[in-house]
Amino acid sequence: MAVVTPQTFFRFAADHHELLVELYQHRDGITEATLLQLVRRFAGEGTPSASYMVDRLRDLGFIDYAPHATAQYEMARPFAELMSGLLREYRLTSVEVIRAYFTAMDGMATEIGQAIADKNAELMVRALKDTAEHVERMRHDSRRNRDEVVSTAMRVKSNKDRMPPMRRYEIINRLWTRYLVPLRDMIDSQKAMDASLDRMERVLEEAEVCFQMDGAVAPVIGMGRARVRRLRRDVVLDFRESIREIAPLYEELRRENALARGASHALETMSKQGLTRMALPRQLGICNWQQQGLFSDSALEAYLLTLQGYVPGRPQPIPEGMTETAREHVRMNEFDSRVAAALPIPDALTWLAESYPEAPLSTVLRLYGRMHSGRYGSVGFGEQEEEYALWDVTLEAHPMNLNRQDAKGTKGSGNEMGLGNA
């Protein structure tokens, strides 16, 4: 394996930066055949063979064999991270990792405390070196997270891919719920970060007192305290910046998503229940008040004009009473007397036809009903149905008989009657 110096690494990178950028798009895996094609695509005049280039990429640590398959490569992790930094395509450091950073910092504070107790300058310097590296890594991750949040927000805002609101909302909601809210809990609500950094600052303060006479250790401790203060300030700043960027977008997309979701839900409901059952007009209540029973001014004016100079004509003469009308009238008390006198009546319809031959059918039927009421005595019906051709119609009925109500209450037979026009 060839010796890799920074010069050879960066010279190769400079000469083949387009290939490396393209390769970064396949950072999670690329087959050897595709890689060879890619190399040939970017090959210029005097470029060595594709297979040589692949070997060179591997030797310089740009790519590595994929662990899961043969003839398959992936981008080496350190180079992938370098590229993501250069291309500002960051992956979020999860809150779990950030939390672990603070736990580790507590461990380092304990180690510094141990160095104070033992007055061990060598241990102190080693612990401070570790702490400095750790603090800087945290600061770097915090800044990268902020950059990732901002770049995601910009991408979602510009929406060049024309993603529907739901998709955009999912991206921002994920960022919000998976990263910003836990971070807010850690920084604002539970103050876990402050607690950890306070502990570290306290122990460094003690170290400063303990090693103030040591000219080699004291400046390192001072630098460590400054790093911790800067970390605290930068993490809060990054967090606030991320919130400022995401919160309005989150709200906007939540509303956009709700609009789209509401419209789709309404259409779905309509297809299931029908528009009428949704009762949208009542819910919206758009007024449609009509003036009812009121004259318009012009209509009223026109009417009054017609009344002006009105001369009433002679009233219509009242028509004289007709003889037939008088005959139609049957006094009930007279009728009752006639029925009572005629009892027993074997067939009510025949009796009515004989007794009131000129009465209209409607009157006769009312009288028939009165006879059926039972006020004159017991009422019975014949078993056999008969037809009556009376009053220009044919009636079908079981003959109704009327008998005086005797002490035994004798009644006629039969229990139904049919009456109709033929």
Return the residue of 1, 3, 216, 287 that touches another protein, per CB under 8 A: 287
Least CB distance to another protein at residue 184 (A): 9
Largest CA distance in the chain: 149
Our finding on whether 325 is near another protein (CB under 8 A) is no
DSSP H or E stretch at residue 237: helix 217-273
Our finding on whether 360 is near another protein (CB under 8 A) is no
Nearest one of 199, 201, 198, 193 to 225, comparing CA atoms: 201
Our finding on whether 166 is near another protein (CB under 8 A) is yes
| Residue 83 vs 246, nearer CB to another protein | 246
Our finding on whether 266 is near another protein (CB under 8 A) is yes
Least CB distance to another protein at residue 266 (A): 4
Residue 231, φ and ψ in degrees, nearest 5: -60, -50
Considering only 131-139, 140-148, 156-164, 317-325, which stretch makes contact with another protein by CB under 8 A? 156-164
157 within 8 A of 250, measured Cβ to Cβ: no
Least CB distance to another protein at residue 100 (A): 23
Least CB distance to another protein at residue 44 (A): 39
Our finding on whether 299 is near another protein (CB under 8 A) is no
Q: Where are the beta strands (DSSP E) in 53-171?
A: 63-65, 72-75
| Residue 166 vs 353, nearer CB to another protein | 166
DSSP H or E stretch at residue 381: strand 378-381
Q: Alpha-carbon distance 355 to 337, whole Å?
A: 13
Nearest one of 76, 104, 107, 93 to 203, comparing CA atoms: 107
Our finding on whether 48 is near another protein (CB under 8 A) is no
| Residue 12 vs 179, nearer CB to another protein | 179
361 within 8 A of 391, measured Cβ to Cβ: yes
Q: What is the CA radius of gyration of the chain?
A: 54
Structure tokens at 75: 């981008």
Return the residue of 189, 271, 296, 415 that touches another protein, per CB under 8 A: 271
Least CB distance to another protein at residue 146 (A): 17
Other CB atoms within 10 Å distance of the CB of residue 138:
22
| Residue 280 vs 343, nearer CB to another protein | 280
Our finding on whether 259 is near another protein (CB under 8 A) is yes
Structure tokens at 332: 């009930």
Other CB atoms within 10 Å distance of the CB of residue 354:
10
Our finding on whether 177 is near another protein (CB under 8 A) is yes
Q: Alpha-carbon distance 335 to 376, whole Å?
A: 11
367 within 8 A of 352, measured Cβ to Cβ: yes
Our finding on whether 278 is near another protein (CB under 8 A) is yes
Our finding on whether 154 is near another protein (CB under 8 A) is no
Least CB distance to another protein at residue 257 (A): 8
User: Per-residue x/- mask for another protein, residues 180 to 219, rule CB under 8 A?
Assistant: -x--------------------------------------
Nearest one of 140, 113, 149 to 231, comparing CA atoms: 140
Which residue ranges make up the site for another protein (CB under 8 A)? 159, 161-166, 173, 176-177, 181, 247, 250-251, 254-256, 258-267, 269-271, 274-276, 278, 280-290
